[in-house]
Amino acid sequence: MGVLKIENLSKQYGKKQALNKISCEFTTGINALLGPNGAGKTTIMNCVSGVIPKTSGKITYNGKDVFSMGAEYRTKLSFQFQSQPFYPSYTAHDFLEFSALLKGMDKSKTESEINRVLSLVNLSENKYEKIRSFSGGMKQRLAIAQTILNSPKILIFDEPSAGLDPFEREQFKRIMMKMKDQSIIIISTHIVSDIDTICDNLVILNKGSVVANDEPEVLCNKIQGMVWNVPKEDVPLLPYEKIYFEDTKSKTISITKPTEHSVLCEPTLNDLYFCGQLNKDIFISSGGDDK
């Protein structure tokens, strides 16, 4: 099993502290980075991939410092950026062929691999079409195809569902499930439904710090007895910043019963997300701790 470990990682831009001594680890399987915009998700991935230099801290892959590994580490990693650059005059095939060259793939295997990943993202029929003619969702699917090309050991996705319709989002989940036994997959998102049924390991971020890091089931157990459905008539009794809405329900996080008619409910990953944003100390007070 592969392990990508982050220890006391900090990143500072001038006086702004983007990451504050972050420690967490990602293992073979599907790992999710969950947090609001500005929480530090993209900064972590940029540091892990070497796109930007860290200010301090350590990142290791299977016990080896990734920056000392150099090219050996880079051959194991593939990163889908939130805004993926393309050559608009290239066809989908041209783009993937060029990507295969950059990845150092065996030329005898390139064509079959291009066909495989295009099939996975439902772009086989668009193989020889210019990228300039692609919709936003098609470009996003092509970016996913480029990322999984040659099945790297470390796959990083930054907001991969942007621009995808509901069917395509489900297809992305299927692809991740097929690859989870061979790769460390890191998915950064603030959309819980992207990872709620497939995530093996969850890292919750808030303002550049790790709030919690563990298996989703373990984290959900830590907030048992703290998630409440608040009836409509009781909502005005609580500060609105403590209320969040899930489907048709009004909910809040509280160690004690928040209103007379509130009813306890089973925690979900959506509740974990709001725990991390409304009251990050809940994980500590409930016996939780970062890895």
pLDDT in tens, 29-44: 999 999 888 889 999 9
What average pLDDT does this structure show over 70-77? 93
| Residue indicated by tokens 């097929």 | 178
- Helix, coil or strand: residue 215: coil
Strand 209-214, strand 201-206: pairing: antiparallel
Confidence at residue 191, expressed as pLDDT on a 0 to 100 scale = 82
> Is the pLDDT reported for residue 50 higher than 50?
yes
Q: Look up residue 242 and give its amino acid.
A: K
User: What H or E segment, with its residue span, contains residue 170?
Assistant: helix 166-179
Strand 56-61, strand 3-13: pairing: antiparallel
More confident site: 272 or 250: 250
The per-residue pLDDT for range 93-130, each reduced to its tens digit, is 999 999 999 999 999 999 999 999 999 999 999 999 99
Q: What angle do CA 249, 255, 260 make, to 5 degrees?
A: 60
Q: Provide the residue ranges of all domains of the chain, joining segments of one domain with +.
A: 3-215, 218-285
The mean pLDDT value of the chain amounts to 91
Neighbour count for residue 186 (Cβ, 10 Å): 24
How far, rounded to the nearest angstrom, does the alpha carbon of residue 191 sit from its chain's CA centroid? 9
The pTM of this model reads 0.88
Neighbour count for residue 105 (Cβ, 10 Å): 16
Burial 33-63 (b: 16+ CB within 10 A, else e): bbbeeebbbbbbbbbbbbeeebeebebbbee
Q: CATH 3.40.50.2000: does it fit domain 3-215?
A: no
> In the numeric block, which tokens belong to residue 247?
């489907």
How far, rounded to the nearest angstrom, does the alpha carbon of residue 201 sit from its chain's CA centroid? 10
